[in-house]
Amino acid sequence: MKITVKLFATFRAGRFDIELRDYPEGTKVGQIVDELELSRDKLGILMVSNRHVDLERVLVDGETLAIFPLVGGG
């Protein structure tokens, strides 16, 4: 199945901004996070097709996953 993966801010460093990627049926958000070697403790917002999701969300062909890091500052 094809999933569009969008990375934001520091997660783009050394990776990509947006890519259309192939994954097997039943792939979860957390599996993609792990495959991209994104630190789970630095995860901010996870969205699939503009809705907040968690790491256990199973993706469906054609969806878009957006991954945002935590934002620091004060």
pLDDT digits (tens, 9 = 90+) for 20-56: 999 999 999 999 999 999 999 999 999 998 999 999 9
- In this prediction, residue 73 carries a pLDDT of 54
**Residue pointed to by tokens 């934002």:** 71
Phi, psi of 53 (to 5 degrees): -140, 170
- What is the distance between the alpha carbons of residues 25 and 43, in angstroms, rounded to a whole number? 24
Instruction: Assign 71 a pLDDT band (cuts: 50, 70, 90).
Output: confident
Mean pLDDT taken over the chain: 95
Residue 53: per-residue pLDDT = 98
Over pLDDT 70: what percentage of the chain? 96
**Full set of structural domains in the chain with CATH:** 2-69 (3.10.20.30)
Q: Which of 39, 40, 47, 45 is nearest to 64 (CA)?
A: 47
Entry pTM: 0.92
Q: Which ranges of 14-72 would DSSP assign to H, the alpha helix? A: 29-35
